[in-house]
Amino acid sequence: MKTNPMTFRPVPSNIAALENEIHRVFVGKEEAVRRALTTFLAGGHLLIEDVPGVGKTTLALSLAKATGCNFQRIQFTSDLLPSDILGVSILNPRTQDFDFKRGSLFHQVILADELNRATPRTQSALLEAMNEHQITVDNTTHALPKPFFVVATQNPFEHHGAFPLPESQLDRFMMRLTIGYPDSASEKNILQHSIDISAAKTLESHLTESEILALMEQVPRIAVSATVDDYILALVQATRHLPQIDVGVSPRGALALRRATQAYAMLENRDYVTPDDVKALAVPVLAHRLIFSSDQISASKNEAEKIVGSLLQTVPVPL
């Protein structure tokens, strides 16, 4: 099934220029860049879980610079308060009214650095923002800018002074990625050209805000056949019947996978989703949503990814 050609417009040629611009400073990680851009255009949020120094901050800043979005880095610490990121109402002595002072969350691309170092109270302040692109302070709702994209990072090996992300928080992230170390050739290129985060600040924008929003509006128009929908549902429902899993993927997770595959297909300049798109994104979209049973509480991220990977091998594509 394909969309009506009148409703689908080919991806602008400058989308390729945008990716190439990011690759100038984020070397040798084409798949990570494509998945980050997929999450961005699908209107989701991204969790990057990896060791320090592999480019988590550089990827977030590069994406903001190349898309022309304003960027804000928030360093999450145990003493960070919800009002620091949401904002606060302050009494104006002249008018005797309360003026709302916006917090650091009012930017288009947010780097929530080391999110798991904030207390659960501060972490939960992001839930409404990530789900509804708005915040509520003193019973007043404030819309966040468009587009609104959260890139959160955490170090999976450091647990001192950290608060594990609750399931409700994890479920708000469309994808979880691991960047990994660059290959030898890419790392040599990084060394020879001294490519670091300062290089990301020099990137040029290749899309206007209106072009970005137009691309995001186009994502839901990408056709998803009944066969692909059945395949997504079969994968999601299979996660709910595994003995080592207490809670499988939620309907929100199924919707996230569907939306991600639409954005992925659009970046491939197609107006329809294929089962291969589902296979390409199932692990980063679904694995972090699995909740292991109590006797498997120490199960690692790798085990969750292996489970989803095995389902891709055993769950057949509906005919």
Beta-strand relationship, 109-113 and 134-137: unpaired
Q: Is it true that the peptide bond before 284 is cis, omega within 30 degrees of 0?
A: no
User: Between 236 and 190, where is the model more confident?
Assistant: 236
For the chain, the average pLDDT equals 86
Whether 104 and 72 have beta carbons less than 8 Å apart is answered as yes
Distance of CA 190 to the CA centre of its chain: 25
Q: Which residues contact 67 (CB under 8 A, 6 or more apart)?
A: 18, 40, 109, 205, 206, 207, 212
Supply angle C-alpha 174, 178, 184, rounded to 5: 145
Give the pair of three-digit tokens for residue 235. 């994968």
pLDDT confidence tier of residue 12, bands split at 50, 70 and 90 = low
pLDDT confidence tier of residue 158, bands split at 50, 70 and 90 = low
In terms of C-beta density within 10 A (0-12 exposed, 13-18 middle, 19 or more buried), how is residue 72 classed? middle
Which of 288, 296, 306, 282 lies closest to 246, judged by CA? 296
* Mean pLDDT of the 180-190 span: 82
* Mean pLDDT of the 189-215 span: 82
Which of 221, 226, 235, 318 lies closest to 279, judged by CA? 235
| Structure confidence by residue, pLDDT tens digits, 44-83 | 999 998 887 778 888 889 899 888 899 999 999 889 999 9
